[in-house]
Amino acid sequence: MPYDLIIPDIHEKIDVTDQIIARYPDCRFRYFLGDYWDSFEWEFHPDHWRRVAQWLLKISQDPQNILIAGNHDVHYYNNGAQRYMCSGYISSKHQMIAQEMPSNWLIQHCHWIYPVTHGDQLTLLSHAGLNVVHARFGTEIAVPYIDQINTQISDNFFIDVLEPRLEAGRGRGGRGIGGITWQDWDQEYQPLPKVRQIVGHTPGRNPRWRDRDLCLDTNLCHVALMDTETGAITIEAV
């Protein structure tokens, strides 16, 4: 079947990710669900950080790759990093990234939410999912509205205010309901009506379904194949 490849949280495991990419050479698109940075395995390895930066620069130039931003990425591409800082942040890594990558790389090359349509079925790909509390009441969740959300968040990213759709919720030590880079699958996630969402962010031993929605984060032990015609999902261990 013609398929798209969905790869969840990488956390600097670029060699494993390259093996996954090589395993699925026939995919149409590759969707990356964010969290490219921060790994306790590579916590203080500047040479590896530099490899990750160069890898990101390379894959973001390939139109076959569609990159989505995660919470562990946001704090390295925002001058007010403390506003969005989370565990794993390292200031010396931030300085290295600033030397190796353009400051606007995330805004230029990553999406907050990526909509995919299969007939009447709308699938939203994001790092942690769009909660109904962050959607305008009464608004139809359709592609134009998702495009509007992406534009609004990007416009707010560098100004000196907190963007609530990028904040942590109570489930992760913040307030309210987590935004699209932070919503906790186990404690905060709520399915949206008439829309399917595929997310990462909340790690587990196995992929987890909630109604039609899927959390794929298993520490890079699983990927999903999405049929390009029907949208049907096949999960594979890697």
Taking CA 122 as the corner, what is the angle to CA 118 and CA 128, rounded to the nearest 5 degrees?
Answer: 130
Check residue 151 and give its pLDDT. Answer: 94
Check residue 80 and give its pLDDT. Answer: 58
Instruction: State how far the Cα of 94 lies from the Cα of 209, in Å rounded to an integer.
Output: 35
pLDDT band at 159 (very low <50, low <70, confident <90, very high): confident
Average pLDDT over residues 198-223: 97
pLDDT band at 22 (very low <50, low <70, confident <90, very high): very high
3-state secondary structure of 124: strand
Check residue 85 and give its pLDDT. Answer: 86
Check residue 126 and give its pLDDT. Answer: 98
Whole-model pTM: value is 0.95
Check residue 140 and give its pLDDT. Answer: 76
Check residue 83 and give its pLDDT. Answer: 73
Return the number of other C-beta atoms located less than 10 Å from residue 41's C-beta. 9
Q: What is the domain extent for residue 113?
A: 3-237
Instruction: State how far the Cα of 122 lies from the Cα of 143, in Å rounded to an integer.
Output: 8
The CATH number of residue 166's host domain is 3.60.21.10
Query: Mean pLDDT for the chain?
Result: 92
pLDDT band at 224 (very low <50, low <70, confident <90, very high): very high
pLDDT at residue 138 is higher than 60: no
What is the crossing angle of helices 14-23 and 46-59, to 10°? 30
pLDDT band at 137 (very low <50, low <70, confident <90, very high): low
34-62 pLDDT, tens digit per residue, is: 999 999 776 678 999 999 999 999 999 99
Total domains in the chain come to 1
Quick one: which of 102, 100, 141, 135 has its CA closest to 120?
141
